[in-house]
Amino acid sequence: MKALLLDDTHPLLEQGLQAGGLVLVRAFDEPLEWLTERYSDAEVIIIRSRLKVTKDFLHAFPRLKVIGRLGAGLENIDVEEATRRQIVCLRVAEGNARAVAEHALGMLLSLLNHLPRVQREIKEGKWLRESNKGRELQALKVGVIGHGIMGGTFANLLDAMGVTVLAFDKYKTGYAEGSVKECSLKELYTEADVISLHLPLTLETRDYANADFFHAFNNPIHFINTARGPILNTADLVTALDSGEVLSAGLDVLEYEKSSFTSLFEGPLPPALAALLERENVLLSPHIAGWTKESFEKMGAGLAQKVLAVLKTV
């Protein structure tokens, strides 16, 4: 069997596939027409986020059985068409769930303790204690929206710290572990002091955190998004920060990212992003929450195992 690797991968992924008897073809930079001409007999394709797998792309590989994405989401794959063609689409969200949870926690603790601001003040020779009094996480109620692998890992991490965690998932029940409390969205709006999004990017979730969303909370909230950028309406977040509905925000993802997640945009800075960059109650990182040495290893090894397991059944 032939596996076509269309992006950089981890050695553990390649070693695992080769050990399973697959012949690897590394074609990171070849034009699409070359791929379809030379490698149309591929039965496995491995991608990350750079390539968009469309209906036409799938039709060009008639022997394709498995698409493996070295990452957590499948939004760059036409999953509906792949399913219709009986092609199995695999991801490895469990590989970087811990990394995402720790990153979200780090952002939240930094914001609660004003670390972006105090770093700047100390560099300026200021030693201000009273104005930088922080909050303890155990005094707050953290709402987790989306209790999949990512949201569940974050909720469990907080629960182990003795934090009150309220979890909402529109499509699941009976999922909470430990002291995590399953609740309705209305309960979140009423009780939460912190909101962390852990949703996939779909037509339903695009622009999920918008003006109506921020207006709905009884308490001013701290807001964390380590999921996907377009889930958040950035301009509405800026307005909510101005009004005090949002006290602080930690964003590892931005709606302006290119589909490859490797860069932002071309051209002038969007006004909403420019406004965020001026604020010390906003913490930004370049889509690295799930990108650690350990997570890359776990995703590589895990995806190889999943691919080989599927091939044994088809």
What's the pLDDT band for 92 if we cut at 50, 70, 90?
Answer: very high
Q: Based on the domain organization, do 86 and 102 belong to the same domain?
A: no
Is the pLDDT assigned to residue 177 strictly greater than 70?
yes
In a domain, 304, yes or no: no
Q: Kindly name the residue from 14, 43, 255, 257 that is annotated as catalytic.
A: 257
pLDDT at 266: 66
pLDDT at 260: 61
Residue 254 burial (C-beta neighbours within 10 Å; 0-12, 13-18, 19+): buried
pLDDT at 30: 78
Is the pLDDT assigned to residue 41 strictly greater than 70?
yes
What's the pLDDT band for 220 if we cut at 50, 70, 90?
Answer: very high
Q: Based on the domain organization, do 86 and 111 belong to the same domain?
A: no
User: In sequence order, what are the beta bridge partners of 53?
Assistant: 77
| pTM > 0.85: yes or no | yes
Is the pLDDT assigned to residue 259 strictly greater than 80?
no
Domain, as residue range, for 26: 2-91
State both tokens at 283.
Answer: 């913490």
In a domain, 105, yes or no: yes
In a domain, 162, yes or no: yes
pLDDT at 261: 66
Last residue of a domain, one of 76, 91, 106: 91
Per-residue DSSP letter, 137: G
User: In sequence order, what are the beta bridge partners of 248?
Assistant: 222
In a domain, 57, yes or no: yes
pLDDT at 265: 66
Is the pLDDT assigned to residue 210 strictly greater than 80?
yes
Q: Based on the domain organization, do 186 and 274 belong to the same domain?
A: yes
Mean pLDDT on 65-74: 93
Q: Based on the domain organization, do 258 and 235 belong to the same domain?
A: yes
Q: Based on the domain organization, do 21 and 130 belong to the same domain?
A: no
- Annotation says 228 is catalytic: yes
Residue 293 burial (C-beta neighbours within 10 Å; 0-12, 13-18, 19+): exposed
Q: Based on the domain organization, do 243 and 121 belong to the same domain?
A: yes
In a domain, 271, yes or no: yes
Q: Based on the domain organization, do 121 and 37 belong to the same domain?
A: no
Average pLDDT across the chain, whole number: 94
What's the pLDDT band for 44 if we cut at 50, 70, 90?
Answer: very high
- Residue among 67, 23, 8, 75 nearest 296 (CA): 8
Q: Based on the domain organization, do 131 and 78 belong to the same domain?
A: no
Q: Based on the domain organization, do 32 and 127 belong to the same domain?
A: no
CATH number at residue 225: 3.40.50.720
Distance CA 255, CA 68 (A): 25
Is the pLDDT assigned to residue 18 strictly greater than 70?
yes
Q: For residues 59 and 272, is the Cβ–Cβ distance under 8 A?
A: no
- Annotation says 245 is catalytic: no
Q: Kindly name the residue from 98, 228, 245, 255 that is annotated as catalytic.
A: 228
- Annotation says 287 is catalytic: yes
Is the pLDDT assigned to residue 219 strictly greater than 90?
yes
Share of the chain above pLDDT 90, in %: 86
pLDDT at 50: 82
State both tokens at 200.
Answer: 């996939």
For the chain, the domain total comes to 2
DSSP secondary structure string, 164-187? Answer: EEEEE-TT--S---TT-EE--HHH
Q: Based on the domain organization, do 37 and 144 belong to the same domain?
A: no
Q: Based on the domain organization, do 190 and 75 belong to the same domain?
A: no
Residue 313 burial (C-beta neighbours within 10 Å; 0-12, 13-18, 19+): exposed
Residues in the chain: 314
The 10 Å Cβ neighbour count of residue 189 is 19
Q: Based on the domain organization, do 112 and 174 belong to the same domain?
A: yes
Task: Tell the residue number behind the tokens 């509405």, with chain if given.
Answer: 236
C-alpha R_g of the chain: 21
